[in-house]
Amino acid sequence: MNAMTTMNVSLPDELRAFVDDQVNEGNFGSTSEYVRELISRDRDRRELRAALLEGARAPVTATADAAYFASLRDRATS
């Protein structure tokens, strides 16, 4: 298991109420779990964005025509 550390976060009442609602509705087990999920999603979003930007900067190595997409569909369903 990963080591945990404590972090204090200050929220306006409106945001605190929203977080409490998320927990009370059963979407998350605790406020800490909710915050961990948000941070994890943000990290994943940033990593995906970096990968997409890296791909956009890469040289074109294949033509994206109908045959290319057909081959991708074939690989995905195999």
Which tens digits make up the pLDDT trace of 1-33? Answer: 789 899 999 999 999 999 999 999 999 999 999
For residue 24, what are the CA distances in angstroms to 3, 7, 20, 62, 78? 26, 21, 6, 50, 43
Instruction: Check pLDDT > 90 for residue 66.
Output: yes
| φ and ψ at residue 28, rounded to 5 degrees | -145, 150
How close are the terminal C-alpha atoms of the chain, in Å?
A: 36
pLDDT of residue 61: 84
Confidence band of 62 (pLDDT split at 50, 70, 90): confident
Mean pLDDT estimate for the chain: 94
Residue spans per domain, the chain: 11-58
Instruction: Check pLDDT > 80 for residue 68.
Output: yes
| pTM exceeds 0.85 | no
Instruction: Check pLDDT > 90 for residue 47.
Output: yes
